[in-house]
Amino acid sequence: MSDYLKSMPDREGFFGNYGGAMLPPPLEPHFAEIRAAYDKLSKSGDFLHELRYIRKHFQGRPTPISYLKNLSELAGGAQIYAKREDLNHTGAHKLNHCMAEGLLAKFMGKTKLIAETGAGQHGVALATAAAYFGLECEIHMGEVDMAKEAPNVTRMKLLGATVVPVGEGAKTLKEAVDSAFGSYIAQADTALFGIGSVVGPHPFPMMVRDFQKVVGLESREQFMEMTGELPDIVAACVGGGSNAMGLFSGFIDDEGVALYGVEPMGTSSKLGDHAATLTYGVDGAIHGFATKVLLDENGEPAPVNTLASGLDYPGVGPEHAHLQSTGRVTYTSADDKESLNAFYELSRREGIIPALESAHALAFALREAKNHPGKSILINLSGRGDKDIDFVTETYGFGE
């Protein structure tokens, strides 16, 4: 196993200065139970064997790498490749950790999965895992998001989940997190909280990274097989940071591979117009762990904005804050406009409609390619864009 991955995080869940677990006292014993269970299961042949079986026979792994020939020609310079997480069952990388969380719940003897969801992508993936394992599923979602993302609400209900509407405050993600956590505290004896990215209190940032690592391990092998070399540049979009940590995990010990995280710059670099936490954030804490956060003038989490609702978070996974501080990963950004352009170009020139989140990584590749003639760029195409087509075409048309 990778030297880096073995050494991070420490026993308390710290990646350098970031991470840890700041828990309300009633949750401390439950998180101790999760840590102990994961310590044991991550070394258990039965757990890993079943996870491998699920990845192959239910999720459809390994997902391929595609060479984006037409886009590489358009960009001029580096050759661009995409890891096709859009071809994972349910259409995004999120199922990689949701299936593992479901399996963890099963091994722990829990009967229910609880989580919040913003745009509904995490809720759908977790509801899928719950259906597979015969677990109950309770998803908290703001009423504003429920109206905006009605098809995902329908999907979750078809999959057998209970969707709890949250009517407090702005009726979006933050309120949904509070509501889901409240419900989890009341049911933690029988339920597991299913966190949707490499965020939250220890051990979730580590577990979710471990569950997403399959993306990076497959990619390294596939890229070598395709080209005989390692990629020069590896890039992924960063919301909470799970698809990026998954891909980076495969290359983190390869010093010759440059790693780039791409944050959403929204409509401008003014606070409130973007969600570029690592670019503009400060050291702080959010949702029970230490990381970089975007704060408003009162020291509260700032409002964030991006076309890609899956990147809409004023915090970021603690491991990314650490990797930024060590310089191993460079964090940059793509704004709404160039990401939308990348969305249209990949659709029209390659026959792949990407999620708006993934379009941020692609926008970076298109912009950067001309600076690296003869080199290669591998991006994580974290999800498919079916969920975005109505919004994009109704708001912006079909692109010129």
Ligand X SMILES: *Cc1c(COP(=O)(O)O)cnc(C)c1O
Q: What are the angstrom distances between the C-alpha of 353 and each of 66, 365, 394?
A: 14, 16, 16
Amino acid, res. 368: E
Tokens of 251: 């290359």
261 makes contact with ligand X (CB under 6 A): no
Region of 399 on the Ramachandran plot (φ > 0 left; ψ -120 to 50 alpha; else beta): left
Is 110 labeled as catalytic in the residue annotation?
no
Is 116 labeled as catalytic in the residue annotation?
yes
Q: Specify the residue, 94 or 106, whose C-beta has the smaller distance to ligand X.
A: 94
Q: How far apart (Å, rounded) are the C-alpha atoms in residues 329 and 216?
A: 15
Q: Specify the residue, 188 or 323, whose C-beta has the smaller distance to ligand X.
A: 323
For 284, counting Cβ atoms within 10 Å of its Cβ (0-12 exposed, 13-18 middle, 19+ buried), the class is: middle
Binding residue (CB under 6 A) for ligand X from 59, 152, 183, 242 = 242
What phi and psi, each to the nearest 5 degrees, are found at residue 19? 115, -135
Q: Which helix (H) or strand (E) holds 335?
A: none
Q: Specify the residue, 110 or 384, whose C-beta has the smaller distance to ligand X.
A: 384
91-150 binders of ligand X (CB under 6 A): 92, 94, 121
What phi and psi, each to the nearest 5 degrees, are found at residue 2? -60, 135
Helix 242-249 and helix 204-227, axial crossing angle in degrees, nearest 10: 50
Q: Specify the residue, 188 or 294, whose C-beta has the smaller distance to ligand X.
A: 294
Q: How far apart (Å, rounded) are the C-alpha atoms in residues 148 and 154?
A: 12
- CB of residue 380 vs ligand X: minimum separation in angstroms? 8
Binding residue (CB under 6 A) for ligand X from 205, 241, 250, 315 = 241
Per-residue x/- track, 208-237, ligand X (CB under 6 A): -----------------------------x
Q: How far apart (Å, rounded) are the C-alpha atoms in residues 349 and 331?
A: 27
Binding residue (CB under 6 A) for ligand X from 101, 145, 350, 357 = 357
Q: Specify the residue, 110 or 281, whose C-beta has the smaller distance to ligand X.
A: 281
**Nearest CA-CA partner of 162 in 119, 204, 117:** 117
285-314 binders of ligand X (CB under 6 A): 310-311
Q: Specify the residue, 97 or 110, whose C-beta has the smaller distance to ligand X.
A: 97
Binding residue (CB under 6 A) for ligand X from 100, 355, 369, 377 = 355
Among residues 94, 110, 213, 387, which one is catalytic? 94
Count, residues in the chain: 400
Is 179 labeled as catalytic in the residue annotation?
no
Catalytic residues: 94, 116, 382
Task: Write out the residues near ligand X by the rule CB under 6 A.
Answer: 92, 94, 121, 197, 237-243, 310-311, 355, 357-358, 382-383
